[in-house]
Amino acid sequence: MKSVDAPNSQRVIAMTTKLLFVLLLAIAAAFPLSSGAQIVLPTYLQVVVGTTSDDVNAVGCSLRQALATVASDANVGDCQRQRLAGDRPNQILFDSAIVPGQIILTQQLDVTADTAINGPGQEVFQISGVGAHRIFQVSTAELVVRDITLTQGSTMADGGAILSDGPVTVSNSRIINSRATSIGGFGGAIAIESGGSLLLRSSEISGCSADFGGGGLSLRGPFEISDSIISNNDAQNGGAVLAIADGTISGSQITNNNTSLGSSIQVSAANVVVESSTLTAGSGTSERLIELLADGVLRVSGSHLQDLSGTGVGVLALDGANFTNVELTIENSTITGSRGIAAQNFLALLNSTITVTETPALQFFSGGTARGRIANSIVVSDGADDCVTNGATLVENSHNIYTDGDCTDVQENLIFADPALGPLSDYGGPTLTRLPLAGSPAIDAGNLFCPGTDQRGFARTDGLCDIGAIEVGATDTLFADGFE
Ligand SMILES: [Ca+2]
Ligand SMILES: [Ca+2]
């Protein structure tokens, strides 16, 4: 007896159920219940912008009038709203007759109802605040911005291009040359208030500045940044990103941002993950790559960090007098350039490769109260002390390669030798790495507890874990069959 019909019969049942449901909805719509408990199908408004003018007397529907049309559910000016079936947020589109084009604002745009602004492409359409106006202020509504460039937003408060206390999504877009100029201002491009959140996808934030915090992004609400570029932004603290709420940064390039006091990414009282990303500071900038403060927890994995900006510290995890529980984990990552890591509370360095010119490559401080876990890692500087404990307790110090220094407590299979690494280069995966050369003491010398993949995301399958961020001979299993 064949039983292969089971999936088909399930499909028939599912289709029948769906048809019945649609029929019931139709009946319900045709015969509303007398009690008033009518079933309401979801709808959304769609408005097409037909002019780039921001003048209230201009002919055609302007973006400002389109936003007002959505917010009031009544046509404003020449705008003609359509009500469509579906549960999307309200949509604002742009007539192809005004593309390519630019909207020059006469004042900021207020977003008071859930709205998606679907641009025609970041290369062909932009909204400019002409260095005088913020672009969008969002109350508690949701704002989605797609396929558009926002440029020259400016405010005397926070959020040069966008200030929001609601959820914001920016995708396939650019926010450039925007500023929060007030003394103590936050968020040169975007400031997210504590009631808001940010999804930044496949977008670029560059050339923005804030006087105080978050030259690119100031984040007081949760965030998710992926496949994006944040470069050449500037602030006193957090030249690229100031994170005061939990979030993730993945597949992104955070490069050449500048700060006068702090770091490229500053994390304060938040739990942040950075993965599969590249963080660099150029020789012309004066910053740390990452600064972790005040009850912060930071995990960096599968990433490349390079600081060419001079002496001092590239990654700093600092617990001030009243701060506790600052935890920094760096796993499957490569740190190159001039400066390494300093940690004041808890640091875990796992299967990572640090090769820097300044000494030390890794140091603990704060008078011996710090704790460290260092395993399967390469920690080498050009100077005389690769790793300095300053009295810190090493709870694990296993299968590491140093050339010198005093990180010799709880010693387990330490190797003091040149790690024999190839130059920083593209050996596969999303970030640059240093591949151990043939005969490197790193090969097959790690302990049993290494992660299942290396920095590139390649599986460590030979059963003998290599020390550092790269597993020699590992292959790209994820993409080997041509499918993700
Ligand atoms: Ca050395
Ligand atoms: Ca191996």
Which pTM was predicted?
A: 0.89
Q: Which ligand is nearest to the CA of 405?
A: 1
Give the number of C-alpha atoms closer than 13 A to the C-alpha of residue 363, restricted to the C-beta side: 22
Domain identity same for 115 and 222: yes
- In total, how many domains does the chain have? 2
pLDDT of res. 320: 58
pLDDT of res. 5: 40
Q: Which ligand is nearest to the CA of 446?
A: 2
Domain identity same for 109 and 257: yes
User: For residue 442, how far is its CA from the centre of ligand 2 (angstroms)?
Assistant: 9
User: For residue 355, how far is its CA from the centre of ligand 1 (angstroms)?
Assistant: 9
Domain boundary among 243, 261, 279: 261
User: For residue 102, how far is its CA from the centre of ligand 1 (angstroms)?
Assistant: 55
Q: Which ligand is nearest to the CA of 407?
A: 1
User: For residue 471, how far is its CA from the centre of ligand 2 (angstroms)?
Assistant: 6
Task: Show the domain range for 81.
Answer: 42-98
At 207, which amino acid appears? G
pLDDT of res. 9: 46
Mean pLDDT (10-residue bins), the chain, 484 residues: 40 50 50 63 96 93 97 96 95 98 98 97 98 96 98 98 98 98 96 97 98 97 98 93 97 91 87 96 70 89 87 71 74 93 91 94 83 95 91 93 88 91 97 97 95 96 95 78 46
Domain identity same for 173 and 121: yes
Give the C-alpha separation, 99 to 95, whole Å: 7
pLDDT of res. 311: 56
Residues, beta carbon < 5 Å, ion ligand 1: 381, 386, 403-404
pLDDT of res. 326: 82
* Local structure of residue 239 (DSSP, 8 states): S
Q: Which ligand is nearest to the CA of 378?
A: 1
Domain boundary among 82, 98, 114: 98
User: For residue 339, how far is its CA from the centre of ligand 1 (angstroms)?
Assistant: 13
User: For residue 289, how far is its CA from the centre of ligand 1 (angstroms)?
Assistant: 22
Give domain status of residue 73, yes or no. yes
User: For residue 107, how far is its CA from the centre of ligand 1 (angstroms)?
Assistant: 57
Give the C-alpha separation, 113 to 92, whole Å: 12
Please report the DSSP string for 307-339 in residue order.
Answer: E-S-SS-SEEEE--TT----EEEEES-EEEES-
pLDDT of res. 324: 60
User: For residue 451, how far is its CA from the centre of ligand 2 (angstroms)?
Assistant: 12
Domain identity same for 52 and 140: no
Spatial CA neighbour of 335 closest among 266, 390, 386, 398: 386
- 435 touches 472 (CB < 8 A): yes
Give domain status of residue 16, yes or no. no
User: For residue 249, how far is its CA from the centre of ligand 2 (angstroms)?
Assistant: 29
Q: Is 11 helix (H, G, I), strand (E, B) or coil?
A: helix
Domain identity same for 178 and 75: no
pLDDT of res. 484: 42
